[in-house]
Structure 1
Amino acid sequence: MAVTVETEQMLAAKFEAIFPHLDERQRRLLMGAEARALGHGGIRAVARAAGVAENTVSRGVSDLDAGDPPLGRARRLGGGRRSLSETDPGLRPALLALVEPDERGDPMSPLRWTTKSTRTLAAELTRQGHPVGADTVADLLRSDGFSLQANAKTIEGKQHPDRDAQFRYINDQVRDHQDTGDPVVSVDTKKKELVGPFANAGRQWRPAGEPVATRTHDFPDSELGKAVPYGIYDLAANTGWVNVGTDHDTAAFAVESIRRWWNSIGSSDYPHARRLLITADAGGSNGYRTRAWKAELAALAVQTGLDITVCHFPPGTSKWNKVEHRLFSHITMNWRGRPLTSHDVIVQSIAATTTRTGLRVHAALDTNTYDTGVRLSDRQHDALPLSRHDWHGEWNYTLHPEEYEQVNNAPDPFDQPSPDLAWLAHPALTGLPPDEWDALITTLMTLHDQQRETRLNKRRGHRPRLTAPGTGRRPVLTLADRLIAAILHHRLALSQVAVAALFSVRPETINRRIRETRQLLQQAGHSIQPGPQRLATLNDLYTLATTEGITTPPEPKAAC
Structure 2
Amino acid sequence: MSDLEATKTRYEVLGPLLDERLLRLWAAREARAIGSGGAYQVAAATGMSLKAIQTGLGELDLLEALPDGLPLTPVPGRRSNGQRSQPRVRLPGGGRKWTEDKDPTILPALELLLADEVAGDPMGRQRWVRSSLRHLSERLAAQGHSASPTTVSRLLKGLGFSQKSNKRKLGAVGRCPERDAQFLYIAAQRQTFTAAGLPIVSVDTKKKELIGNFRNGGRSWCRSAPEVDEHDFPSKAVCQAVPFGVYDVTKNAGFVVVGTSYNTPQFAVSAIARWWQAEGRDAYPGADRLLILADGGGGNGSRAGAWKVNLQERLCNRHRLTVTVCHYPPGCSKWNPVEHRLFSQISKNWEGQPLRSLDLMLGYIRGTTTRTGLRVSAELDDATYPKGQKVTRDDLGKVSFKPHADCPIRNYTISPQIADQQA
Compute the TM-score of the two structures, normalised by the length of structure 2. 0.59
1:358-411 Cα offsets, whole Å, 9 max, x none, are 10000011111101111211111111111111111111111101147669xxxx
| 2:269 counterpart (245, 250, 255) | 255
2:108 matched residue in structure 1: none
User: Are positions 1:378 and 2:393 aligned together?
Assistant: yes
1:328 matched residue in structure 2: 343
* Superposition CA RMSD, Å: 2.2
AA aligned opposite 1:228: V
| 1:237 counterpart (239, 251, 261) | 251
1:335-361 Cα offsets, whole Å, 9 max, x none, are 000000000111010000000111000
Q: Is the 2:211–2:237 contact (alpha carbons within 8 Å) kept by the matching residues of 1?
A: no
2:404 matched residue in structure 1: 389
User: Are positions 1:356 and 2:357 aligned together?
Assistant: no
User: Are positions 1:264 and 2:274 aligned together?
Assistant: no
Any gaps of 5 or more consecutive residues in structure 2?
A: 3-32, 35-163
Moved over 3 A (4+): 154-157, 403-407
Matches of 1:260 and 1:153, distance apart in 2: 38
1:214-245 Cα offsets, whole Å, 9 max, x none, are 01111114561111000000010000000000
**What fraction of aligned residue pairs are identical, expressed as a percent?**
47
Matches of 2:399 and 2:211, distance apart in 1: 38
Q: Is the 1:249–1:285 contact (alpha carbons within 8 Å) kept by the matching residues of 2?
A: yes
Partner SS for 1:325: helix
Partner SS for 1:265: helix
1:292 matched residue in structure 2: 306
Partner SS for 1:228: strand
Deviation at 1:153?
A: 2.3
1:130 matched residue in structure 2: none
Matches of 1:393 and 1:384, distance apart in 2: 15
Kindly tell me the number of residue pairs found equivalent between the two proteins: 261
1:193 matched residue in structure 2: 209
User: Are positions 1:400 and 2:415 aligned together?
Assistant: yes
Partner SS for 2:347: helix
Q: Is the 2:212–2:236 contact (alpha carbons within 8 Å) kept by the matching residues of 1?
A: no
1:163 matched residue in structure 2: 179
Q: Is the 2:220–2:351 contact (alpha carbons within 8 Å) kept by the matching residues of 1?
A: yes
User: Are positions 1:306 and 2:321 aligned together?
Assistant: yes
AA aligned opposite 1:176: T
Matches of 1:279 and 1:160, distance apart in 2: 18
AA aligned opposite 2:211: V
User: Are positions 1:340 and 2:355 aligned together?
Assistant: yes
AA aligned opposite 2:358: H
| 2:219 counterpart (198, 203, 209) | 203
Q: Is the 2:256–2:378 contact (alpha carbons within 8 Å) kept by the matching residues of 1?
A: yes
Q: Is the 1:195–1:221 contact (alpha carbons within 8 Å) kept by the matching residues of 2?
A: no
User: Are positions 1:179 and 2:195 aligned together?
Assistant: yes
Matches of 1:311 and 1:338, distance apart in 2: 35
AA aligned opposite 1:214: V
Q: Is the 2:296–2:330 contact (alpha carbons within 8 Å) kept by the matching residues of 1?
A: yes
AA aligned opposite 2:245: G
AA aligned opposite 1:190: K
1:429-484 Cα offsets, whole Å, 9 max, x none, are xxxxxxxxxxxxxxxxxxxxxxxxxxxxxxxxxxxxxxxxxxxxxxxxxxxxxxxx
| 1:216 counterpart (227, 230, 242) | 230
2:383 matched residue in structure 1: 368
AA aligned opposite 1:172: A
Higher deviation after alignment, 250-259 or 158-167: 158-167
Q: Is the 1:196–1:221 contact (alpha carbons within 8 Å) kept by the matching residues of 2?
A: no
Deviation at 1:152?
A: 3.7
Matches of 2:232 and 2:317, distance apart in 1: 43
Compute the TM-score of the two structures, normalised by the length of structure 1. 0.45
Matches of 1:174 and 1:288, distance apart in 2: 18
Q: Highest CA radius of gyration, 1 or 2?
A: 1
Matches of 1:214 and 1:151, distance apart in 2: 35
Q: Is the 1:380–1:406 contact (alpha carbons within 8 Å) kept by the matching residues of 2?
A: no
AA aligned opposite 2:393: D
2:52 matched residue in structure 1: none
Matches of 1:318 and 1:363, distance apart in 2: 22
AA aligned opposite 1:217: H
